[in-house]
Amino acid sequence: MVNARDDLDARFFAGAGAPPVEWVIADAPVSYPDAVAEMDARVAAIAEGTARERVWLVEHPPLYTAGTSARAADLVDPDRFPVFDSGRGGQYTYHGPGQRVAYVMLDMKRRRQDLRAFVAALEAWLIDALWQFHVRGERREDRVGVWVRRPDRGDGAEDKIAAIGIRVRRWVTFHGISLNVEPDLGHFSGIVPCGVSDHGVTSLVDLGLPVTLPDVDVVLRSSFETVFGPTVDADDRP
């Protein structure tokens, strides 16, 4: 099993001497256009050296987003929820209540200017967080994201539990990850999630774990620090 705590590259992206990353949790659902506007402003400030790096945890109302590789045929039900062009990499994905979205705004110039390694670090973060709930998340060489095997559904069956989609501007990352905690999994049926039609989607609650978003937030923060280095609450200042 790949586990961030055992991965030789686990602290690959911990910026040596960089200030702690701000950790912010939205206290109410955030519209997708507002999230993008906020990320755009923060990324510009980070690139200019006037703001800290930030991880922003949000929950969205039900919606679909299209990445830069999205195929029109994968939008199965275009009238079901609002659809937004995201500018991130990847294809169609769903966001909605019960899903934790983490927007990750890091300055790769302080860390390592390697996009493939950054995606692997995001996967390591998620895999480590899932393992704290005794869920074995796995990478796939041909599919971005984190997957869990479902032997209860047949030989070779597996479901996606977390998605990854990033964008980089001036070597500052934005967009990020989404982890299914307790979303309505039926909402994924309006798209072909991430362009993968021969595997399903799952969530922590679907796997039989009675966890909440606050439970997951605590674990995500601990695991993030394992991979990327220390964090600080947004209201704290040195």
**Angle CA(143)–CA(146)–CA(151) in degrees, nearest 5?**
95
Q: How does residue 197 score in pLDDT terms, banded at 50, 70 and 90?
A: confident
Q: How does residue 18 score in pLDDT terms, banded at 50, 70 and 90?
A: confident
Give the residue numbers marked as catalytic: 194
Annotated binding site for substrate: 88-95, 163-165, 176-178
Annotated binding site: 88-95, 163-165, 176-178
Quick: pLDDT tens for 2-17: 444 444 354 556 666 6
Tokens encoding 88 = 């991130």
As a whole number, mean pLDDT of residues 200-210 equals 95
Percent of the chain with pLDDT over 90: 71
Q: Are strands 92-95 and 83-85 parallel, antiparallel or unpaired?
A: unpaired
Quick: pLDDT tens for 100-114: 999 999 999 988 888
Q: How does residue 157 score in pLDDT terms, banded at 50, 70 and 90?
A: confident
